[in-house]
Amino acid sequence: METDTGCAGSQRTRLLVVSPDENDSLSVRTLVTTGDWTIVRAAGLADAIQSAHADDPDVVLAERHLSDGTWTDLLEFFNSRDNPPPLIVLSRFVDDRLWVEVLNLGGFDVLAKPLERSEASRVLAMARLRGRMHRGGDQARASATGV
């Protein structure tokens, strides 16, 4: 597990990149040029679960096929927890079937490798917004109800 902490701050977005290929997290680092992201790399499913137990991610970017599972295993893990983060699937082979499967199972979106800068930046920004709104809404409801 590898972390890029960037600059400190309470509004940082924690992005968990789950891929056996270190180049995937390096590609993401070039897209995320502002200092308000913390990028954590996990090489596989078990590493991602361990990382999530340590600190819940705001957004997850996961390779379609992992050495010890698949993106659906990761989605199932996060969906079993409170406030699951948006999960984006990363794959060299993207087609309508994969896109429909991801959306039908509750994933956020699909990105093709190699990452196209404008599309990947847009998807990450939208996932971040969704993750913040979802978590912020639950926090606001909890404080309003005293829970």
Q: Which residue has the higher pLDDT, 10 or 75?
A: 75
Q: Is the pLDDT of residue 139 over 60?
A: no
Q: Which residue has the higher pLDDT, 132 or 63?
A: 63
Question: According to the model, what pLDDT value does residue 2 have?
Answer: 53
Q: What is the CATH number of the domain that holds 128?
A: 3.40.50.2300
- How much is the pTM? 0.85
Total structural domains in the chain? 1
pLDDT tens digits for 84-113? 999 999 999 999 999 999 999 999 999 999
Burial of 139 (0-12, 13-18, 19+ CB in 10 A): exposed
Domain that holds residue 39: 2-145
Burial of 144 (0-12, 13-18, 19+ CB in 10 A): exposed
